[in-house]
Amino acid sequence: LKETSASPPPLLFLLSPHPPELCFSAAMPQTQSSTAASGGGGRLRDAFGGVLCAFTLLLIGLLAFSIRLFSVIKYESVIHEFDPYFNYRVTQFLSKNGVYEFWNWFDDRTWYPLGRVIGGTVYPGLTLTAGTIWWLLNSLNIPLSVETVCVFTAPIFSANASWATYLLTKEARGPGAGLMAAAILAMVPSYISRSVAGSYDNEAVAIFALIFTFYLYVKTLNTGSLFYAALNSLSYFYMVCSWGGYTFIINLIPMHVLLCIVTGRYSSRLYIAYAPLIVLGTLLAALVPVVGFNAVMTSEHFASFLVFIILHVVAMVYYIKGLLTPRLFKVAMTFVITVGLAVCFAVAAVLIALVASSPTKGWSGRSLSLLDPTYASKYIPIIASVSEHQPPTWPSYFMDINVLAFLSCFLPLSDASSFLVLYLVTSVYFSGVMVRLMLVLAPAACILSGIALSGAFSVLTRSMKFQRQTSENAGDGSSNALANSETASKEKPSKKNRKRDKDSEGSSPADHMTEEKLLVLPCGPAAVGIMLLIILSGFYVIHCVWAAAEAYSAPSIVLTSRSHDGLHVFDDFREAYGWMRHNTDVDDKVASWWDYGYQTTAMANRTVLVDNNTWNNTHIATVGTAMASPEKEAWEIFSSLDVKYVLVVFGGLIGYPSDDINKFLWMVRIGGGVFPHIKEADYLRDGNYCVDAHGTPTMLNSLMYKLCYYRFVETDGKGFDRVRRYEIGKKHFKLTHFEEVFTTHHWMVRVYKLKPQKNRVRGKLKLKPAGRSSSKANSMRKIGGKKNPWQ
- Return d(Cα 755, Cα 753) in angstroms, integer: 6
Q: For other proteins, which is the closer residue by CB, 44 or 297?
A: 44
Residue 485 Cβ, how far from other proteins at the closest point, in Å? Answer: 6
Q: For residue 691, what are the contacts with CB-CB under 8 A and spacing of at least 6? A: 661, 699, 700, 705, 709, 721, 724, 728, 729
Q: For other proteins, which is the closer residue by CB, 544 or 557?
A: 557
Q: For other proteins, which is the closer residue by CB, 427 or 592?
A: 592
Residue 753 Cβ, how far from other proteins at the closest point, in Å? Answer: 8
Contact between residue 239 and residue 210 where contact means Cβ atoms under 8 Å apart = yes
Residue 61 Cβ, how far from other proteins at the closest point, in Å? Answer: 18
| Element of type H or E holding 598 | helix 597-599
Residues in the chain: 791
Contact between residue 750 and residue 743 where contact means Cβ atoms under 8 Å apart = yes
Q: For other proteins, which is the closer residue by CB, 575 or 680?
A: 575
Distance of CA 407 to the CA centre of its chain: 22
| Element of type H or E holding 735 | none
Q: What residue ranges bind other proteins (CB under 8 A)?
A: 36-43, 46, 76, 78, 140-143, 478-482, 484-485, 487-488, 491-492, 495, 499, 506, 509-510, 512-513, 557-558, 569, 571, 574-575, 577-579, 581-583, 603, 711, 714-715, 739-745, 747, 753
For residue 540, which of 161, 10, 156, 22 has the smallest C-alpha distance?
10
Angle, to 10 degrees, between the axis of helix 202-223 and the axis of helix 146-172?
A: 30
Q: For other proteins, which is the closer residue by CB, 286 or 558?
A: 558
Nearest-10 Cα torsion for 498, 501, 503, 508: -50
What type of residue sits at position 286?
A: A
Q: For other proteins, which is the closer residue by CB, 320 or 741?
A: 741
Residue 506 Cβ, how far from other proteins at the closest point, in Å? Answer: 7
- Return d(Cα 68, Cα 155) in angstroms, integer: 6
Contact between residue 158 and residue 212 where contact means Cβ atoms under 8 Å apart = no
Q: For other proteins, which is the closer residue by CB, 334 or 583?
A: 583
Q: For other proteins, which is the closer residue by CB, 287 or 482?
A: 482
Which sign does the torsion angle of CA 88, 89, 90, 92 carry? positive
Residue 49 Cβ, how far from other proteins at the closest point, in Å? Answer: 11
Residue 561 Cβ, how far from other proteins at the closest point, in Å? Answer: 13
Q: For other proteins, which is the closer residue by CB, 39 or 771?
A: 39
Residue 590 Cβ, how far from other proteins at the closest point, in Å? Answer: 16
Residue 387 Cβ, how far from other proteins at the closest point, in Å? Answer: 24
Q: For residue 583, what are the contacts with CB-CB under 8 A and spacing of at least 6? A: 742
Torsion region of 788: left, alpha or beta (phi above 0 gives left; psi -120 to 50 gives alpha): beta
Residue 721 Cβ, how far from other proteins at the closest point, in Å? Answer: 15
Q: For other proteins, which is the closer residue by CB, 495 or 781?
A: 495
Each residue of 598-618: b (16+ CB within 10 Å) or e?
bbbbbbbebbbbbbbbbebbe
Q: For other proteins, which is the closer residue by CB, 230 or 310?
A: 230
Residue 173 Cβ, how far from other proteins at the closest point, in Å? Answer: 14
**DSSP string across 461-509:** HHHHHHHHHHHHHHH--TTHHHHHHHHHHHHHHHHHHHHHH--SS---H
What type of residue sits at position 265?
A: R
Torsion region of 392: left, alpha or beta (phi above 0 gives left; psi -120 to 50 gives alpha): beta
Residue 31 Cβ, how far from other proteins at the closest point, in Å? Answer: 13
